[in-house]
Structure 1
């Protein structure tokens, strides 16, 4: 049921971006391109979505999104600092006014006591101002991916509205 909101949220985001003449880029890790797929389900998305990168490995986060190695070493891929750097890097690399970034642990394994399965950081960059929020989602792998994608889009819609 919650996933049915995605189309409406993407439409709201698209309306905000079109009204401002802004472009959006995405940097996804745990969502694996799910956000990009949902964005491009909207006809006309080429007028506000520049593209995205699935940065699943730390090497790609560093090389393609300019996430400093020290940030990854000190904080890990699933951290506030990393998604902030990913969002800034995506905005810069894609020449977009807006970017969103997602990094988390979708499961079923990979969690730790400090960062259990379902831990997801989402970052947004709007006109150079980056913010991030921590989420803890329940359910299986697809549930975590979908909840992450929905929160990322809703968060950006709120920040651009």
Structure 2
């Protein structure tokens, strides 16, 4: 049973709706969820906010947060998740922002991804360093981690 199927099944049983706010995964979490038949009952919407302008305009991420911390940061992940929750009909929202590669820097290496989950109880945030395994693998690992976070939140 796939992670996405488990998320859909659990959300359905609880009557909860889901929203996603994705940067480096470009909609992969929403796509995994909507690949499951019946997902329309629980998937409310997905925001693909690849640019900083999209994060600001679509999710309400503060420009000063982006300026102070950069797009790949826990504060931005938190604002993405809370913005997604506020701008949707969802009960739980997950956000993802990271450096899939190639590239990165000494302070923000390739494979670093920040996640946040927001619901009525608040927000949890974490950063995972997947390492420089390549763009495809980092994005897939980030998608799966986000699905696990949703499953835990539900």
TM-score over 0.5 for the alignment? Answer: yes
Deviation at 1:20, TM superposition (A): 1.6
Quote the Cα distance in structure 2 between the aligned partners of 1:47 and 1:28: 21
Matches within 5 A, 1:40-119: 40-109=34-103, 111-119=104-112
Q: Which stretches of structure 1, 4 residues or more, deviate above 2 A after TM superposition?
A: none
Question: TM-score of the superposition, structure 1-length normalised?
Answer: 0.92
Deviations 1:62-101 (A, max 9, x none): 1110001111111110011001100011111112111000
Contact kept? 1:27, 1:100, Cα under 8 Å = yes
1:94 alignment partner, SS class? coil
Q: Distance in 2 between matches of 1:125 and 1:13?
A: 15
Structure 2 residue matching 1:51: 3-state secondary structure = strand
Structure 1 position 128, deviation (Å):
4.9
**Alpha-carbon RMSD:** 1.0
Show structure 2 runs of 5+ residues with no match: none
Query: Would you say how many aligned residue pairs link Structure 1 and Structure 2?
Result: 153
